[in-house]
Chains A and B, each alone.
Chain A
Amino acid sequence: MERSLTHIALFAALIAVLGLVPRVDLATGVPITAQSLGIMLCGTVLGAKRGALAVLLFLLLVALGLPLLSGGRGGLGVFVGPSAGFLVGFPVAAFVAGWVMQRTTLPPFWAAACGAVIGGIGVLYIFGISGMALVLDKSLSEAALLGLAFLPGDVIKAVLAGLLTQAIARARPGALLSRRDAPAA
Chain B
Amino acid sequence: MIRPVASSSDAIVLTGAGVTLTGRRVLQDMSLTLSERRIGIIGRNGSGKSTLLRLMAGLIAPDRGQVRVAGLDPAQARKEMLAELGILFQNPDHQILFPTVDEELAFGLIQMGQSRSAAQARVAQHLALHGRSHWQGISVATLSQGQRHWLCLQAVLLMEPRTILLDEPFAGLDLPTQHRLARTFAGLPQRLITITHDPATLRGVDRVLWLEAGQIAADGPPEAVLPRFEAEMIRLGGLDADADLAR
Contacts and interface: CB of A to CB of B under 8 A. Distances in A.
Are the chains A and B members of one assembly?
Answer: yes
Contacts of A136: none
Contacts of B141: 171-172
Nearest to B99: A171
A44 to B, nearest CB: 15
A147 interface: no
Prevailing SS type, chain A contact patch: helix
11 contacts: A167-B99, A168-B99, A170-B139, A171-B98, A171-B99, A171-B139, A171-B140, A171-B141, A172-B99, A172-B139, A173-B139
Contacts of A168: 99
Contacts of A167: 98-99
B154 interface: no
Q: Output the residue of B99, B100, B139 with the most chain A CB within 10 A.
A: B99
A173 B98 CA distance: 14
Interface in A123-175: 167-168, 170-173
Interface string B75-116: 000000000000000000000001110000000000000000
Contacts of A171: 98-100, 139-141
A96 B140 CA distance: 30
B92 to A, nearest CB: 13
Contacts of B98: 167, 171
A172 B140 CA distance: 8
Contacts of B139: 170-173
B125 to A, nearest CB: 23
A170 B100 CA distance: 7
A168 B99 CA distance: 7
A99 to B, nearest CB: 25
Contacts of A172: 99, 139, 141
A36 to B, nearest CB: 22
